[in-house]
Amino acid sequence: MLIRHHRSKLLSLLVTTVLICSLFGSATPVHAAGIVNQSQIYTYETMIRDMNALAERYPDLIRLSSIGESEYNRKLWRMDVGKGPAIILLNGSHHAREWMTTVLIMSMVENFASSYANNDTYNKIAVRDLLDRVTFVIIPMVNPDGVTLQQKGISAFPSSVHESLIRMNKGSRDFKRWKANGKGVDLNRQYPAGWESIRNTASSNSYMNYKGQKPLQAKEAAAMAKLAREIRPELAMSYHSSGEIIFWNYRTKSENLARDRALASQYASMTGYSLVAPSSNPSGGGFTDWFISEFGRPAMTPEIGRAVGDTHVPLSEWSRIWKQHRDTGWMLAIEGYELWLGKQDVKPGSGDFYLLSSETSYQWPSPDSKTTGSLKAGTYKLTRTKGDWLEVASGSSRVWISGRNALLGVTKAPEGLKVTLTKDTGIYTTPLQPKATALSYAGQKLMIRLVWKDWYQIQTSKGLFWVKVKQVSIVKEEETPIVEEPEVPAEEVPQEEVLPSPEPVVQDTVAA
């Protein structure tokens, strides 16, 4: 359904683009040309060029760094995209011949950045809002040596190692089936999760399936594990190819099963991929296996592209892969933020609260987060709480405010309910403020707006005030239809009507 919705959106966007193009002529592009070109063998060098171009075009959103070097001293590039506290880890090309995953990740990054720049929406949610809440930490090519060997052959390597590379490739000079890193270690059999019992392992360094002498022996796998331990992501995606299936379970604890299956199912329904059924005796050693057991958080290994056997996914498969994946990043962002929030001691809220004075609103429950504006005094629906922070549905988004000026658990008074006030009725600007104002409405019938604990909020000619339930009596007007009491315009209220209060006069103040 989501996908259909977005297709129709895309259609209208296309129509609009065509209209604009025909108005201005093709010489005036509506948007800057795309950076990532998917119709080419996507090399390590191409990736670096594109990363730099993306970081240059979107400097406020994309940051580049490196997490170490490959066995042949190629930098393992890291891209951070987004500004939020919830970290989502994406990685691709653990396996050399699976470099289509790098194309996918790079295209996702460009889509994130251009959508942010264009202020696009996903399911009515502002993309900017999502990317202000999450940060994608991305290693688009974990195995640059292997990718380079698979694409360019041994000429890209020093002649001193040609013989051993051919030997690891079982005598062949065709490296299209190469999966391992440059040293013949299978990087997705290098992680310390069931490493000892990995099945179908090669006995020595090989183009595929050699798990190494010990876990995290390969520099690339060690760098990935170190990164994950440092940033502790909420969830991780380790993209592989091919087969259109999703691995999502590795000895997953029963308490995490429903959560992880729900996430994988969302991804499956967007891509049309099938979930791999959990096995009671899985073969481990993969990044996803390790991530799930190390952090107890969800991770997935999607196998992108239709099954192609022992080679790379052909470029002709790209448009299908992109249609399947274009919106998955937004879903991951939404879920990643929810997972982050879940750790912040956030509790579900219910009912309404009344905000006594305007409050700055934030994207997540911290004054360090970006402000989204402010909420005016008034009644709001409470969605969640974290300590003194309250989450409120505001338009299509949710924002957080400090709860210091909020009355939790207010209810609306029944329509037309009024109270009679006496000269002893204290009129309060807020029920949190123990001192009554000097106002008096003795003998008047006033409409009740809200009920909070043992307080009524009443509508007076000077605005909304609070009275104690026990100091007023309810007016029942059962015989006659309830009519709004004509309000006395504020300027017509003579000052003499305001009776001196035994308390010091406090007006228009709000409790801190």
Min CB(147)–Zn ion separation in Å? 12
Residue nearest to Zn ion according to CB distances in the complex: 240
97 vs 449 by CB, closer to Zn ion: 97
Query: With the C-alpha atoms ordered 319, 320, 321, 323, is the resulting torsion angle positive or negative?
Result: positive
- 302 contacts 240 by C-beta, under 8 angstroms: yes
Q: What are the phi and psi torsion angles at 77 (to 5°)?
A: -80, 140
- Among 78, 133, 211, 240, interactor with Zn ion by CB under 5 A: 240
CA 122 from chain centre, in angstroms, equals 12
Sign of CA dihedral 319, 44, 101, 297: negative
Q: Which stretch binds Zn ion (CB under 5 A): 13-21, 146-154, 213-221, 238-246?
A: 238-246
Least distance to Zn ion, CB of residue 242, Å = 9
Displacement of CA 219 from its chain's centroid (Å): 30
* Residue 383: C-alpha distances to residues 261, 337, 388, 401 (Å): 25, 15, 14, 12
Residues 338-368: b if buried by 16+ CB within 10 A, e if exposed: ebbbeebebeebeebbbbbbebebbbbbeee
Buried b (16+ CB within 10 A) or exposed e, 271-297: bebebbeeeeebebbbbbbbbbbbbeb
Q: Work out how close the CB of 290 gets to Zn ion at its nearest, in angstroms, rounded to a whole number.
A: 15
Stretch of 8-16, 61-69, 239-247, 304-312 lying at the interface with Zn ion (CB under 5 A): 239-247
CA atoms within 13 A on the CB side of 62: 26
Stretch that binds Zn ion, among 32-40, 154-162, 240-248, 442-450 (CB under 5 A): 240-248
Please state the closest distance from residue 94 (CB atom) to Zn ion, in A. Answer: 6
Q: Which is nearer to Zn ion, 240 or 312 (CB)?
A: 240
Crossing angle between the packed helical segments 318-325 and 100-118, to the nearest 10 degrees: 50
Least distance to Zn ion, CB of residue 97, Å: 8
| Residue 59 CB contacts under 8 Å (≥ 6 apart), including other chains | none
Residue nearer to Zn ion on the CB measure, 146 or 298? 146
Nearer to Zn ion (CB atom), residue 94 or residue 128: 94
Interface segment toward Zn ion; rule CB under 5 A; list 113-121, 152-160, 234-242, 440-448:
234-242
Question: Which of 240/398 has CB closer to Zn ion?
Answer: 240
Task: State the minimum distance, in angstroms, from the CB of residue 324 to Zn ion.
Answer: 17
Q: How many residues bind Zn ion (CB under 5 A)?
A: 3
Q: Mask of contacts with Zn ion, 75-114, x by CB under 5 A?
A: --------------------x--x----------------
Interface pattern 37-76 for Zn ion (x via CB under 5 A): ----------------------------------------
**For residues 112 and 287, which CB has a smaller minimum distance to Zn ion in the complex?**
287
Q: Where does residue 235 rank: exposed (0-12), middle (13-18), buried (19+ CB within 10 A)?
A: buried
Q: How far is the CB of 28 from Zn ion (least distance, A)?
A: 43
Give the bridge partners for 429, in sequence order.
none
> Quick one: tokens of 502?
């035994």
Q: Which stretch binds Zn ion (CB under 5 A): 194-202, 232-240, 335-343, 478-486?
A: 232-240
Residue in the block written with tokens 């296996």: 289
CA distance 182 to 70: 8
Closest CB to Zn ion among residues 43, 143: 143
DSSP string spanning 233-275?
A: -SEEEEEEESSSEEE--SS--HHHHHHHHHHHHHHHHHH-PEE
Q: Does 326 bind Zn ion (CB under 5 A)?
A: no
Rounded to a whole number of angstroms, the minimum distance from the CB of residue 103 to Zn ion is 15
Which residues of this protein are in contact with Zn ion, per CB under 5 A? 95, 98, 240
